[in-house]
Each structure stands twice: as C-alpha cells, then as structure tokens.
Amino acid sequence: GLVNLDLTGSIPRRKTRAVRVGDVYIGGGNPVVVQSMINEDTLDIEGCVASIRRLHEAGCEVVRLTVPSMAHAHAVGFIKQRLRETYRDVPLVADVHHNGMNIALEVAKHVDKVRINPGLYVFEKPDPNRTEYSRADFEAAAQKLKETLKPLILSLREQDKAMRIGVNHGSLSERMLFTYGDTPEGMVESALECIRVCRELDFHNLVISMKASKVPVMMAAYRLLAKRLDQESMDYPIHLGVTEAGDGEYGRIKSSIGIGGLLAEGIGDTIRVSLTEDPVKEIPVCYGILQALGLRRTMVEYVACPSCGRTLFNIEEVLHKVRDATKHMPGLSIAVMGCIVNGPGEMADADYGYVGKTPGKISLYRGREEIRTVPENQGVAELIKLMKEDGVWV
C-alpha cells in the first residue's frame, strides 16, 4: 500500500498472473488496461463495428458488448469478422446473461473474454420461513453453479480465452443476501464461490470485479477481495469500476476516487470508467487517472502553480499556449510557474520549466538548471527552441 511508496512515487502493485484477452494482457505487471463498452444494439453490426473502432482509436484497449439472445451471439461473430477485415482484431468481451448457456457457448467462439455475473446463475426464491442457509445448502448451490457453468468454462479453457467474474452489489443471490446481508462480504463470497468452481475445472484465465455504485462500498469490496485472494494464494487480476457513476464532473470525481484510490493501494489491473455519456469520453478519464498515479504516461505531464499575487504573467493563458505547443510529446514533464520565489523549487523534477522572472521576463529551465532569460512574448517560441536544441522535440 501507500505506506511503502518510495520517493520516486512508484506504486507497489499487487502481484497477479497475466490473463490474455486477444492481444492484450491483463495483470502480470503489464500496464493497467483501459476498457469500455459500446451502447449500440449488438444486432446493428455496422453500427457496432464503427463504435468499437472509434473507441479503440480513442485508446480503449478492450471493448465490451452485450449479448442478450442467440441472434446477438451470432451478430458478434459478424462484428468480429468485419473488424478483422476492415480495421483490426480488437479484443472483445461479451456480457452474457442468465438466460441460456447456449448463447454463452455461441458467443465464446467469437470473443476473447466472456463476462458473467455469478449472482444470476443459481436462482433461490426468498422463503419467509427460512432461518438459515446451511453448509449443505451452500455446497448444493456451488454444485449447481458448477453444472451450469461447466460447458462455458470448458469451452473457454479449450480455446484459451478468458472469463470475467463480475459481481454486482445490486444483484447478489438470495442465499448470499440472506447469509451475509447486502455487504462487501456477500459480494466477495459470491466471487469466491465462482472462482472455486473454475479452479476445480482447472480454469485460471480469470479476471474478477466487484462493482457497486457507492464508492466506499466498492472500495471496501475490492479491498476485501484482494485480501481474500491473497490469503488463498489466488493471483487473479482485478477489474476496477464504479457502476452508475453518472455523468459530468461528479461522475468523473466518483470514478477517480474509487478507481484511483484502489490503484494507489496497488489493487487493480484493468479499469473502466462508466459514464452516462458517449463511451469515448470515458477514455481520457481512464488515462488521466493512470497518468496522475504514474501508472501510465500517455500524455505530457504539466506542472503548474495555481498563481497568486506574485504571479508575473497570465499563467492560464501561457499554460494553454505551452500545452498547445507541446502536448504531442507524451512522457515529458513541463512546468509553468508564476514566479522565481517558489517556482523553481516546486517544479517537481519537471524536464523543462517556464518561470516568471521579472515583469515582462521569463526564465527557461532544463530540469533544475536555469538556461536563459527571455522576453515574455517570446517565451513559448524560446521553449520550443530549447527543446529542439536538446533534441527532444519531435
């Protein structure tokens, strides 16, 4: 966890095995994978192909779609084929529902990963006279789950494809709800029961998720999951998400806290930010979370002071100009600081600095070294010139 954070700011991550999803690997020390889901009807093959492509081009590495019927499962086959022919073999995940293993088996032929919700597979009718679910009841339910899922698990094992066990706070089985209440424990037990079934069938291409719409519940469930998996020496990677996060600024804040908070503790191998917006808009949020934690550097890191009475130029305007000029060079870190009083000391090891020196003059830094002072109106041009001289400009 965070207490072990070293001075470079790198986060020690929970050790997991790598699970392959098409040509992408989740876990095993690989970069945290960004996922999303299209919202077209899966029967609209051309619409789905276009949406998947748009998402993938925006940086979404694994795309999910929903498969509620056999017709949808067949459509996924055509979608995959069209993608291969017209674009590329984008890793796909199918959400299957509890209405028939045949649908799951059909779609497993076409996608790289199948997502199931274990809460939906063993139906238990609420019984007002019941006082407990006994050990025998649990064993019988696990047996039933195994019988139901076995064909799918064996098919995925045979094809070396993956499965996500996706528990949702809102859809725990009656038995779990009765025994554990509507709690993180119930969510984790539900996942563990399904994981054990997979292990009995020697299937380990598993990714586990514990989604909830309340951030503290989601965080508690994932922490408990990671703890229990580690206790039982099960190194399956974890998929993080806050469901029903909503939209706009608050949806982004909720996702960033839930997903980012867990990533900061070393938990999580793939993420999805769920927004009630065009899914393409989820992707920059994912990359922003990963960038802020230093887990992936897909953008230029800008360090800028908030400005104050000492600020010697219009920092907002300058930051925009600097960003417009340099944003195509991911991996670099550039600081824009209002004054030399605190600026240079607080540039957080940026590669380059643009710092207000005296009214109308700014200083350019390379790392901690002041390189030259130039008139403010030539600042951005001089910064670019310096980068060109250094050979970092591309």
Q: How far is the CB of 10 from ligand SF4 (least distance, A)?
A: 26
Should residue 308 be labelled a site residue for ligand SF4 when binding is judged by CB under 6 A?
Answer: yes
Q: How far is the CB of 293 from ligand SF4 (least distance, A)?
A: 24
Identify which of residues 23 and 346 has a Cβ nearer to ligand SF4 in the complex.
Answer: 346
Should residue 15 be labelled a site residue for ligand SF4 when binding is judged by CB under 6 A?
Answer: no
Burial of 334 (0-12, 13-18, 19+ CB in 10 A): buried
Burial 228-266 (b: 16+ CB within 10 A, else e): bbeeeebbbbbbbbbbebbeeeebbebbbbbbbbbbbbb
In the chain, the amino acid numbered 290 is: L
Identify which of residues 192 and 305 has a Cβ nearer to ligand SF4 in the complex.
Answer: 305
Identify which of residues 261 and 338 has a Cβ nearer to ligand SF4 in the complex.
Answer: 338
Identify which of residues 188 and 336 has a Cβ nearer to ligand SF4 in the complex.
Answer: 336
Looking from the CA of 281 toward its CB, the CA atoms found within 13 Å total 13
Instruction: Output the residue with the shortest Cβ distance to ligand SF4.
Output: 338
206 and 118 in contact (C-beta within 8 Å)?
Answer: no
Q: Which helix (H) or strand (E) holds 95?
A: strand 92-96
Binding mask 248-287 for ligand SF4 (x = CB under 6 A): ----------------------------------------
Q: How far is the CB of 301 from ligand SF4 (least distance, A)?
A: 17
Should residue 237 be labelled a site residue for ligand SF4 when binding is judged by CB under 6 A?
Answer: no
Looking at 150-158, 278-286, 308-316, 381-389, which segment touches ligand SF4 (CB under 6 A)?
Answer: 308-316
Structure token digits, residue 117:
């919700």
Should residue 213 be labelled a site residue for ligand SF4 when binding is judged by CB under 6 A?
Answer: no
Looking at 6-14, 49-57, 73-81, 306-314, which segment touches ligand SF4 (CB under 6 A)?
Answer: 306-314
Orientation of helix 135-159 relative to helix 101-108, angle to 10°? 30
- Rounded CA separation 65/80 (Å): 11
Strand order in the sheet with 301-304: 301-304, 333-337, 352-358, 361-366, 369-375
Q: How far is the CB of 384 from ligand SF4 (least distance, A)?
A: 22
- Rounded CA separation 217/187 (Å): 10
CA triple 156-161-165, angle to 5 deg: 75
Looking at 120-128, 240-248, 292-300, 305-313, which segment touches ligand SF4 (CB under 6 A)?
Answer: 305-313
CA distances for 188 relative to 125, 217, 228, 355, angstroms? 21, 12, 8, 51
Q: How many residues bind ligand SF4 (CB under 6 A)?
A: 12
Identify which of residues 178 and 365 has a Cβ nearer to ligand SF4 in the complex.
Answer: 365
Q: How far is the CB of 364 from ligand SF4 (least distance, A)?
A: 15
Which of 79, 305, 322, 387 forms a contact with ligand SF4 (CB under 6 A)?
305
Interface positions, 325-354, toward ligand SF4 (CB under 6 A): 337-339, 341-343
DSSP string, 60-85: --EEEEEE-SHHHHHHHHHHHHHHHH
Q: How far is the CB of 345 from ligand SF4 (least distance, A)?
A: 9
- Rounded CA separation 282/273 (Å): 6
325 and 354 in contact (C-beta within 8 Å)?
Answer: no
Identify which of residues 274 and 307 has a Cβ nearer to ligand SF4 in the complex.
Answer: 307
- Rounded CA separation 59/300 (Å): 16
254 and 215 in contact (C-beta within 8 Å)?
Answer: yes
Identify which of residues 262 and 318 has a Cβ nearer to ligand SF4 in the complex.
Answer: 318
Identify which of residues 331 and 345 has a Cβ nearer to ligand SF4 in the complex.
Answer: 345
Q: Contact residues for ligand SF4 (CB under 6 A)? A: 305-308, 310-311, 337-339, 341-343
